[in-house]
Chain A
């Protein structure tokens, strides 16, 4: 059985924030956001 789930390519958060002029301010005020935070659940990674 093969199910095909169609995904759509939408705007990324980065694109939307850039368009609305808030990306640079966010990056400036959140310099230490760790993109890998979701992998560190319970710090056991």
Chain B
């Protein structure tokens, strides 16, 4: 676990079915608001990852056209090389003609082998896409399938397929401008940032304690580890796992204590810079910390992505 850069890494798991070609070839794709290309595995690909997924066969589609260009797409879970082409793409009952998409040629990344989805459908801004053709969203607009380039996510509380609520939110929608037309970046007013307390801190506690929450309590009582002062400076995670994370205020780091472990009479001090990990891994033009609002946030707040007005809306989900 010491090698883990961020616990949410490799944790995308909302997939939808699309089809490409004539007759349609079906794929399960990750709906990704952080990228802008559509790609699926293809029969050109000889990588191990492609053998484990549905592959698009261009020779089996009467509407396929080759673009001839190849690009490399970069993701956190790895990169892949795609050949661009055009074909009919169907998303639910929306039919898009001559949509540019990537046919994977090389998928060297191990994670793609294990992915339960075949490809990725990017829903971010065109500036983030390779190639010069419209993204899926743009094509829907240009071909008159949508009246506005708006999409939203709603996480149903009900059993799927039953009691689906036609009302997605209650109260007012809070709108905020997109601050960078690449991915869906908006500003957060507060100065709090995602900061993780070093995982290494948690391991000694769990190793020496009996197990779980009670063990950690005994450590707090004896004044060992960070848990003594965590309630004052840190918001402790409810999880009792060794991967527990804590959130601290960026402005508090300088005032946080140096923790000195004394082992066999030798003091081993640990400054706050050592035990606080800034989990922000993206550069920010303004220098502000960047969060990624995942499904935990989206479940609570119905989120609207309005590309036409370059804004996002948030309202309490029902």
Contacts and interface: CB of A to CB of B under 8 A. Distances in A.
Do the two chains bind? yes
A10 B13 contact: yes
Nearest to A36: B282
A12 to B, nearest CB: 4
Interface in B139-155: 146-147
Interface string A9-27: 1111111110010101011
B177 interface: no
Given A11-B116, A13-B114, A38-B35, A5 B11 contact: no
Nearest to B6: A35
Contacts of B91: 5
Contacts of B128: 38-39, 41
B316 interface: no
B36 to A, nearest CB: 9
B160 A6 contact: yes
Contacts of B246: none
Interface residues of A, number: 34
Nearest to A17: B114
A13 B77 contact: yes
B114 A1 contact: no
Nearest to B154: A4
Chain B interface residue number, banded:
35 or more
A27 B5 CA distance: 9
Contacts of B9: 14, 33, 35
Q: Is the interface of B mostly helix, strand, loop or mixed?
A: loop
Nearest to B112: A13
A24 to B, nearest CB: 8
Contacts of A38: 34-35, 73-76, 128
A33 B93 CA distance: 37
Contacts of A10: 13-15, 28, 116-117
Contacts of B4: 27
A26 B110 contact: yes
B271 interface: no
A17 B4 CA distance: 14
Interface string B71-84: 00111111100000
Given A17-B10, A38-B35, A7 B115 contact: no
A28 B110 CA distance: 13
Contact of B115 (A13, A20, A35): A13
16 contacts: A8-B28, A9-B14, A12-B13, A12-B116, A13-B11, A13-B114, A16-B116, A27-B1, A28-B3, A33-B5, A33-B78, A34-B281, A35-B5, A35-B281, A38-B35, A38-B128
The 9 tightest CB contacts between A and B, nearest first, are: A35-B76, A14-B10, A12-B13, A36-B282, A13-B10, A10-B116, A16-B114, A37-B74, A27-B3
Contacts of A31: 3, 5
Contacts of A7: 14-16, 31
A3 B34 contact: no
B53 to A, nearest CB: 12
